[in-house]
Amino acid sequence: MRVRVHREKLRSRLVKKVEKISGQNLFSCYQCGTCTAGCPMIASMDITPNQVMKKLQMGDESVMDCKTIWVCASCHTCSVRCPKEIDLATVMEALRLVYLRQNVNQVEPSQIPKEELEELPQIALVCSFRKMTR
Hey, CA dihedral for 47, 53, 58, 63, is it positive or negative? positive
- pLDDT tens for each residue of 88-127: 999 999 999 998 887 666 667 778 888 888 888 888 777 7
The dihedral region occupied by 85, where left means phi > 0, alpha psi between -120 and 50, and beta the remainder, is: left
- pLDDT tens for each residue of 45-77: 999 999 999 999 988 899 999 999 999 999 999
Alpha carbon distance 81, 70 (integer Å): 21
Domain with CATH 1.10.1060.10 in the chain: 7-102
From the candidate CATH numbers 1.10.760.10, 1.20.120.1200, 1.10.620.20, 1.10.1060.10, the one assigned to the domain spanning 7-102: 1.10.1060.10
